[in-house]
Amino acid sequence: MVPVLAAEQLRKEYGQVQALLDASITLRPGAIHGLVGENGAGKTTLVRLLAGMEEPDSGSLFPALPQRRSDCAVVPQYPRMAPSIPVLQNLIIGSEPRRSSHPLLRLLIDEGRAKRRMEAIAERFDIQLDLGKRAGSLNGTELRLAALLAALAHEPAILILDEPTVGLAATDQERVLATVRALRAEGIAILYISHDLAEISRIADSVTILIQGRSTDTFDPVPEPHRLASILFDHRRQDERHRAGKSDGGPDEGGNGRERRSESAPDCPAESERPAEPAQAVIAFEEVSLYDRYSGRTLGPLSFSLEPGTITAVTGVREAGLDLLEQYLSGEGELSSGAIRIAGHRIPAQLAPGTLRRQGIAFVPSDRFERAAALEGSVEENATVTDRLQIHPRGIRTPGEAQALTRRLLDRFDIRTHRHMPLRSLSGGMIQKLILARELDTNPRVCIIAEPTAGLDLQSQRILLDSLREIAAAGAGVLILSSSIDAVTTLAQQVVVLHDGIVQGIFSADRSDLIARAFAGLDTSEGCP
């Protein structure tokens, strides 16, 4: 089969960052080629080069740029549409069919023709979508389908799909997969990117693995998921052995004395941490389930507990359930079953602002800059927002109170600034520390923080993670919700891994290879006695 796109030894760097070192890939018509790799391996960069959005620093690409641009269509993971206009109009942006080629009449768009054409394409691939709907009213699945239609409208020879099924309910996932197969039958070359190794095994004809900017050989047919996982996560195990060989480094608070697997059975998981006795745990999740009406996704049942002075993490891609959990904690949505108990006392199924705080739980959401901070306000104004009633007894400010509170918060995490400086003058890490300090001022028993490392540079990340360790050391329980395996294994003692809304297992943090496999949806108990 003559390849329709071939890339050899691509290299791309952005300033100091080496995004791709040596990536090669070949796409053939009528075949689904999978691309797997961890976050930061270079997938997005590779896609941009293949689709002609950017040029590589070195390496060869066939066909040449202009043709590649017209042949290739990309369906991004988070498609963007203009929300206030109908889907149909979004689909034809840039290539609107005109009523005639007459110079003046060219100004009129032939919407009827566009509609017929789009409906024909939709029918061909059994994509059911109401084209008249406003793009802003589409749900997650419909948005993906609309983006797919947009890509197909250009009759591409090559289609690149970036995580097409993540965040969709199971039935919708099947719909998408069926459509992808139909596309293959039409002779389109498909590049299918997914973190879900089982899914890749199912749908792809061949696969390329990208590890830290380098591609492996192409595998045809696609190996079993475990084999894929071995190749993909091998470097993690090597890092673990390397780290285990040293006596320092890594978290050493409780629970890490646990068994290191012998080399003879490398695929066997460590014993899961036994959940602490409920009476000892500061917070316990008991068979917690969440359901999101909007997307049809579920999470759960989720059961684990957190001992005081320890750090537990819940990880997975965001759409694996972290977003649902965060929504609940933010007061949107409610538990559909199960209970969360803090020191034995049950938290309400639906949360109002302030409920968590009153129960002794501090919650720092992932969209902190949007929701938990006023960037234009001063440091003092931000620091005093939760305690404003204490500072203004009877409605009038008590001088000195605000100042004392602010000083206390700044000192807690050694934030060097003046209370009247605007908050945006601080670095991202410092702002997060201030928000954290503010939440912790009530001395909560539990601190829940979502995506602690998001949007921060390495230095700030380190500072924030150190702060979290301090909090745990002071006796609180810390729960981290994060989609970054690295952040999670650096910090936590026990890690709960979610995939597609289901708990894959609870692992000790030193088994990052198992965590990575569970993250990718693989069974981690295969081949063990």
- Choices 2-10, 199-207, 296-304, 394-402 (CB under 8 A): range interacting with another protein: 394-402
* Residue placing its CB nearer to another protein in the complex, 301 or 331: 331
Q: Residue 309 contacts by C-beta under 8 Å, 6 or more apart in sequence?
A: 253, 254, 472, 473, 475, 476, 477
E strands in 140-213: 158-162, 189-193, 206-211
Q: Which is nearer to another protein, 221 or 353 (by Cβ)?
A: 353
Q: Does position 372 bind another protein by CB under 8 A? A: yes
**Measured between alpha carbons, how far is 233 from 214 in angstroms, rounded to an integer?**
14
Among 69, 124, 397, 420, interactor with another protein by CB under 8 A: 397
Cβ proximity to another protein, 204 vs 402, nearer residue: 402
From the list 90-98, 129-137, 192-200, 375-383, the region that binds another protein by CB under 8 A is 375-383
Contact between 50 and 72 (Cβ < 8 Å): yes
By the rule CB under 8 A, 375 interacts with another protein: yes
Helix/strand/coil for 34: strand
User: Which residue in 389, 400, 458, 529 binds another protein (CB under 8 A)?
Assistant: 389
70 lines the binding site for another protein (CB under 8 A): no
Please list every residue from 350 through 369 that binds another protein, using CB under 8 A: 353-354
Nearer to another protein, 265 or 375 (CB): 375
CA separation for the pair 304, 498 (Å, rounded): 12
- Please, which residue, 155 or 376, has the CB nearer to another protein? 376
For residue 420, state whether it binds another protein (rule: CB under 8 A).
no
Q: Which of 396, 400, 458, 529 binds another protein (CB under 8 A)?
A: 396
CA 340 to chain centre: 24
Regarding 392 and contact with another protein (CB under 8 A), the answer is yes
Residue 107 interacts with another protein (CB under 8 A): yes or no: no
Structure tokens at 98: 């005109």
The only residue of 57, 111, 286, 381 in contact with another protein, by rule CB under 8 A: 381
Residues ≥6 apart with Cβ < 8 Å to 263: none
Q: Which residues pair with 214 in a beta bridge?
A: 22, 211
- Residues with Cβ within 8 Å of 216's Cβ and at least 6 positions away in sequence, in order, are 208, 209, 210, 231
Binding-site string for another protein from residue 313 to residue 352, where x marks contact by CB under 8 A and - marks none: ----------------------------------------
Tokens of 173: 């996932």
| 405 sits near another protein (criterion: CB under 8 A) | no
Q: Give the Cα separation of 306 and 281 in Å (integer).
A: 5
Spatial CA neighbour of 271 closest among 284, 261, 280: 261
Interacting residues with another protein (CB under 8 A): 353-354, 370-377, 381, 384-386, 388-389, 392, 395-397
